[in-house]
Amino acid sequence: MITQSLTRPITGRFGGAKNAFAIKAFADRGMEAGETLWAETIATEVAFHSGLAGSLGSSPIASTGCEIAVKQNDVEVGRVIWANNATKAHFSWTSDITFSVGDVISFVVVDADETLADFTITLVGEVIA
């Protein structure tokens, strides 16, 4: 599996006042339940707000249904969910979550879709200065 990721501040402002921050991941193939698709150690303090405004999950292939847990230091804090026949994901993220320097963020498959491929996940948060 090819997994590429990019973690970076975004030029501009989030909500008109704060610096935005994006975590992006790409995978070129389907997945298996329990598989860790991607993990990264956070290098700057960042908050991801309830609902994950501006975040996106997408695939050129319609899903048969898939859920990916987003974890902070191995504790689930939200999910990326593709409904049946969907090419865009929605997010289950019910509260503000702050990642500190050294925390690990990871994407772990809960309900697999072996046909979902070439998908991207972008989480948009706010740099805490």
The reported pLDDT for the residue numbered 18 is 61
* Long-range Cβ contacts of 73-77 (<8 Å, 24+ apart): 73/103, 73/104, 74/104, 74/106
Answer CATH for 3-127 from 2.40.10, 2.60.40, 1.10.3470, 2.60.120: 2.60.120
**SS3 at position 52:** coil
The tens digit of pLDDT for each residue in 70-90 reads 999 999 999 999 999 999 999
Domain ranges across the chain? 3-127
Q: What distances in angstroms separate CA 62 from CA 31, 35, 66, 106, 122, one per listed residue?
A: 14, 20, 10, 23, 18
Least confident of 10-14, 63-67, 118-122: 10-14
Q: List pLDDT tens digits, range 9-64.
A: 444 444 444 688 888 888 887 788 999 988 999 988 999 999 999 999 999 989 99
Query: Which residue, among 85, 116, 98, 89, has the nearest Cα to 18 in the 3D structure?
Result: 98
Q: How does residue 105 score in pLDDT terms, banded at 50, 70 and 90?
A: very high
